[in-house]
């Protein structure tokens, strides 16, 4: 660790940069590797980085919630397709082409299994063409 840097200076730079190490290094006039060593070797400095990361996530979540409250469809879709939405049954869903005009309630289990196998095979072929 650099001798001209104190723990307080490193912590102040990391707090001012939201824990972004390269920006903290610029503020301190040192290499990023010096800041990394401080983080690795000093539990207080490491905690500052962890707290800053949590603040960045909190900020991003608050901006996302603001966009949801403003009715932005992209934000709503993003939240519902994330782990938050998955807890309530939302998420990335797989489209299945039924290739039938029958109501889904009248399709037998065997027919559904066949349709799923056909769709899986078609997706594998599409993926192989890449």
Higher pLDDT, residue 120 or 10 = 10
The verdict on 35 and 79 lying in the same domain is yes
pLDDT in tens, 20-65: 999 999 999 999 999 999 999 999 999 999 999 999 999 999 999 9
The verdict on 128 and 74 lying in the same domain is no
Establish if 24 belongs to a structural domain: yes
Query: The tokens 């962890």 sit on which residue?
Result: 50
The verdict on 78 and 40 lying in the same domain is yes
The verdict on 73 and 100 lying in the same domain is no
Domain containing 123 equals 94-130
pLDDT in tens, 94-127: 555 556 666 666 778 888 788 778 777 665 665 5
The verdict on 104 and 65 lying in the same domain is no
Question: Based on the structure, what is the number of domains in the chain?
Answer: 2
SS (H, E, C) the chain: CCCCCCHHHHHHHHHHCCCCHHHHHHHHCCCHHHHHHHHHHCHHHHHHHHHHHHHHHHHHHHHHHHHHHCCCHHHHHHHHHCHHHHCCCCCCCCCCCCCCCCCHHHCCHHHHHHHHHHHHHHHHHHHHHC
CATH number of the domain at 52, please: 1.10.10
Higher pLDDT, residue 93 or 69 = 69
Establish if 2 belongs to a structural domain: no
Establish if 118 belongs to a structural domain: yes
The pLDDT-based confidence of 88 (bands split at 50, 70, 90) is confident
What pLDDT was estimated at residue 108? 80
Query: The tokens 């403003």 sit on which residue?
Result: 70
Establish if 67 belongs to a structural domain: yes
Establish if 1 belongs to a structural domain: no
């Amino acid at each position: 660790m650099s001798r001209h840097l104190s723990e307080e200076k490193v912590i102040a730079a990391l707090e001012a940069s939201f824990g972004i190490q390269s920006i903290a290094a610029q503020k301190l006039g040192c290499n990023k590797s010096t800041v990394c060593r401080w983080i690795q070797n000093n539990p207080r400095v490491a905690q500052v980085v962890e707290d800053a990361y949590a603040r960045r996530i909190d900020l991003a979540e608050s901006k996302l919630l603001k966009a949801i409250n403003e009715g932005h469809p992209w934000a709503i879709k993003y939240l519902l397709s994330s782990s938050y939405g998955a807890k309530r049954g939302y998420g990335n869903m797989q489209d299945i082409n039924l290739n039938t005009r029958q109501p889904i309630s009248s399709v037998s289990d065997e027919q559904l299994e066949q349709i799923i196998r056909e769709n899986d095979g078609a997706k594998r072929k599409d993926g192989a063409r890449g």
